[in-house]
Chain A
Amino acid sequence: NAGVTQTPKFQVLKTGQSMTLQCAQDMNHEYMSWYRQDPGMGLRLIHYSVGAGITDQGEVPNGYNVSRSTTEDFPLRLLSAAPSQTSVYFCASKLTAGGPTGEQYFGPGTRLTVT
């Protein structure tokens, strides 16, 4: 299994540009999520999905969209990039949305810089 994969690893955008961060998992996990990591703030949940076709907002959803058309893929779209979105983005998945199998598996991250 490849686990959770993310592309690209690095990206530089200009203010106002849009882009999609890709995330895929091959573990047939029900739950997937996106976090951003900023110094001193830990990981903050952007959006999550409890299954194909079902998504919901996390703590910091503004400026981001998600969709979940398949179990495997959970792309994150930046609609109009802003410097405040400069961050490291992590995708994670876990087997089920709830219950004791709560461990999340993380991708390697995407480092995004918006100028």
Chain B
Amino acid sequence: AQSVTQLGSHVSVSEGALVLLRCNYSSSVPPYLFWYVQYPNQGLQLLLKYTSAATLVKGINGFEAEFKKSETSFHLTKPSAHMSDAAEYFCAVSPATGGFKTIFGAGTRLFVKA
């Protein structure tokens, strides 16, 4: 069975600082991995996805993530935080073969201090 663990329910950074949001997955076969962002009172929108091509994936708004099979990780980074990045971020996993379900992590709320 698949699962996703996001380390840290809340992360606080200063504006201009590095953003690092951690995601580890468990899957019996190499999965597809996603990061979604949710702004207050809105639905989720895709930031980026890994679908077994390049291991370093670039997304919207300057975010990127690196798939590390040996560490079963897919951490999200951004070199310089903006106030507008304050939101909740979700890591998700879906099977590349043998299934359809997309499972989400519990989410990490990012706070950006001026």
Interface residues of A (CB under 8 A from B): 4, 31, 33, 35, 40-45, 48, 50, 56, 58-59, 90, 92, 97-98, 100, 102-104, 106-109
Contact = CB atoms under 8 A, between A and B. Distances in A.
Contacts of B69: none
B7 interface: no
Contacts of B90: 42-43
Question: How large, as a class, is the contact surface on chain B?
Answer: 20 to 34
B100 A98 contact: yes
Given A4-B43, A45-B102, 9 more contacts: A33-B102, A40-B9, A41-B106, A43-B90, A98-B99, A100-B52, A102-B32, A103-B46, A109-B43
Contact of A42 (B52, B97, B101, B105): B105
B34 A103 contact: yes
Contacts, number: 63
B72 interface: no
A90 B44 contact: yes
Contacts of A100: 32, 51-52, 96
Contacts of B44: 43, 90, 92, 104, 106
Contacts of B36: 106
Contacts of B12: none
Given A45-B103, A50-B100, A90-B44, A98 B95 contact: yes
B49 interface: yes
Nearest to A98: B100
Q: Which 6 A-B pairs have the closest CB atoms?
A: A106-B43, A100-B51, A42-B106, A43-B104, A102-B32, A106-B44
